[in-house]
Structure 1
């Protein structure tokens, strides 16, 4: 019997076969036609799968209440581009009618990463919350809270912990470290928190590595005797690959990771060293064209830096046919990355002034 596939929320393995991942975990292929004016990530297949898409689509079309929720893990003073994609999807669902919830996972950071509650709070206020707003989150239409200040979440964590066995946790996560168990169960409480007062659908945009948390929540909801909660829906992003193409982008590999914020000059040096789809010689490149699918600079253009689909398609065709070189692709990526970084930092400084005025749940 084949060994059941595991996804590690704490690891850095790059999933190569997303089709197999969909089959192994009984996911739905993402259907952009279900959603009004799908964003760049949805249109281009970066969002590749989901669960419960129809119930969210119906809520949008019928203007019924639903929520979008995500968490901030305040373990550092920067975020990488994989997190940026999640924030963009949160902002999308917020724009089409979702009630947005952003939690600061200070209890999980303490349990799994050894970050003190005080340090987590400082990082959240100084950088993470402003960064989310700078990337498109509307703070006026968002409910914020810290796990450690939300008594309802803490009570629910204790309740939900009775619904999971050690063997079940091992089968789903492959690791039963006590800190990770506490962190995962707290995430279940977070995911369902918006439904504590009102039963309604919710969508949790995540990277593929966070799928176990969604599956655990859906399993717990499914085994409850009452129908108090709607099982959470999700949409999943493909990993933001590291610039050398070997694994998912991770801050543990700084030379292959792009962080926010980061000096554009340093980022451009990384881009110029990134895995290329160009051929060994110019003659060969003109004759065969580029292997675009493995080119990391083009992947940056596709996932992050070019909004216009026609502009991206034009670059793709020229590069694929050999009319455009790898060096030219990297130069375009460098220019657009510099523009993006400068704009982000400007917005970040502007929104930092708003954070002190935000209201947080304290129960």
Structure 2
């Protein structure tokens, strides 16, 4: 290679590195941090490319409806779950009459879940119901013990408390197995961990991407994945829900009074600074948190579209949108609290018992 060629190639490589550094500085998405530059939006199209996903488009939503003979979940209709890996492979298998199971989990590091934590479990319940398949839920109490500096006893206690919130989502006990690592790791499970560990280096991206990389190497099929949008903090989409700031999120333990106070005081508004300006210019729906939360939790598509249209035009005020959101969230949380109060220690034991699941695919 001539010197000039080397310079050109070297310059191209340097420019590519600079572009990558600039892109990474604009948004960071990994298992621990989700942030966009200067309060901007997460670019989900870039995430799809970066993580090698496929867009979950309308044709897939319609195929799920056709195969299950059930209406699609609101999270599918509105693109809350927006990307996937190999979902078509699972649907192909289902269409051929083959079996599959669902897997999800929770790292139990807090006493109560917030609404963002509930979203994957609400959607998983829908998948279990419409496909009538078994579900495995892993509680990584060992991981939280080590990373959050919790005692073993406290980590195990939080796992059971979180299990109660998960059970309250309405999962079918005849098709659901919940386990906590501290209680379950050993035997064949531990042997599989060692098999996986032999194919993992310290620079591996954790969780599901690693699973898909390793599974074929130890003789298993790659799991199909489905990914959702990030659920924003009350203070704005650039903010992060944090246990250290109880006003950044709505928790399933919040009373209606607390929900009303949090939404009215802390939910970031895209409305204008005066009624006159709002009537004239309307709301900025791109940054308005009440509208975003209604997009997750208001079931009625027609009502949501009406609110968006009237609010954006300035005919509906911020206070009116927040009032409707308070109603929706209060009903959701109160319903969850009623279901949670009915979950006994014996019920937790039953969900976490190692046992046959007689109706797994019934």
Counterpart in 1 of 2:152? 117
Counterpart in 2 of 1:22? 48
- Secondary structure at the aligned position of 1:22 is classed as helix
The answer to whether the Cα contact below 8 Å between 1:76 and 1:123 also exists between their aligned partners in 2 is yes
Counterpart in 1 of 2:100? 66
Deviations 1:1-43 (A, max 9, x none): 2248563312353561111111112211113233223211111
State which structure, 1 or 2, has the greater radius of gyration over its C-alpha atoms. Answer: 2
The answer to whether the Cα contact below 8 Å between 2:133 and 2:175 also exists between their aligned partners in 1 is no
Counterpart in 1 of 2:254? 262
Aligned residue runs from structure 1 range 193-342, under 5 A: 212-222=206-216, 224=217, 228-245=219-236, 246-273=238-265, 274-304=267-297, 306-342=298-334
Answer yes or no: is 1:34 the counterpart of 2:63.
yes
- Secondary structure at the aligned position of 1:270 is classed as helix
The answer to whether the Cα contact below 8 Å between 1:144 and 1:359 also exists between their aligned partners in 2 is yes
- Paired with 1:256 and 1:288, the residues of 2 have a C-alpha distance of 28
The answer to whether the Cα contact below 8 Å between 2:271 and 2:282 also exists between their aligned partners in 1 is yes
What stretches of structure 1 move > 4 A for 4+ residues in a row? none
The answer to whether the Cα contact below 8 Å between 2:272 and 2:283 also exists between their aligned partners in 1 is yes
The answer to whether the Cα contact below 8 Å between 1:150 and 1:361 also exists between their aligned partners in 2 is no
Q: In the alignment, which of 172, 175, 190 is matched to residue 154 of structure 1?
A: 190
Deviations 1:317-336 (A, max 9, x none): 11122111111001111122
Larger mean Cα displacement after TM superposition, 110-119 or 39-48 = 110-119
Higher relative contact order (CA 8 A, sep 6+): 1
Superposed displacement of residue 359, structure 1: 4.4
Q: In the alignment, which of 92, 95, 101 is matched to residue 126 of structure 2?
A: 92
Unaligned runs of 5+ in 1: 173-211
The answer to whether the Cα contact below 8 Å between 2:108 and 2:159 also exists between their aligned partners in 1 is yes
- Paired with 1:63 and 1:252, the residues of 2 have a C-alpha distance of 47
In structure 2, relative to structure 1, the CA distance for the partners of 1:360 and 1:72 (3 Å cut) is farther
CA RMSD, aligned part only? 2.1
Aligned residues, how many?
315
The answer to whether the Cα contact below 8 Å between 1:60 and 1:97 also exists between their aligned partners in 2 is no
- Paired with 1:105 and 1:234, the residues of 2 have a C-alpha distance of 19
Superposed displacement of residue 147, structure 1: 1.7
In structure 2, relative to structure 1, the CA distance for the partners of 1:59 and 1:117 (3 Å cut) is farther
Superposed displacement of residue 361, structure 1: 2.9
Larger mean Cα displacement after TM superposition, 248-257 or 140-149 = 248-257
Q: In the alignment, which of 51, 76, 79 is matched to residue 113 of structure 2?
A: 79
The answer to whether the Cα contact below 8 Å between 2:176 and 2:351 also exists between their aligned partners in 1 is no
Query: TM-score, structure 2 length as denominator?
Result: 0.81
Deviations 1:176-234 (A, max 9, x none): xxxxxxxxxxxxxxxxxxxxxxxxxxxxxxxxxxxx42111111124x1x5x2111111
- Secondary structure at the aligned position of 1:35 is classed as helix
Unaligned runs of 5+ in 2: 1-16, 66-70, 356-362
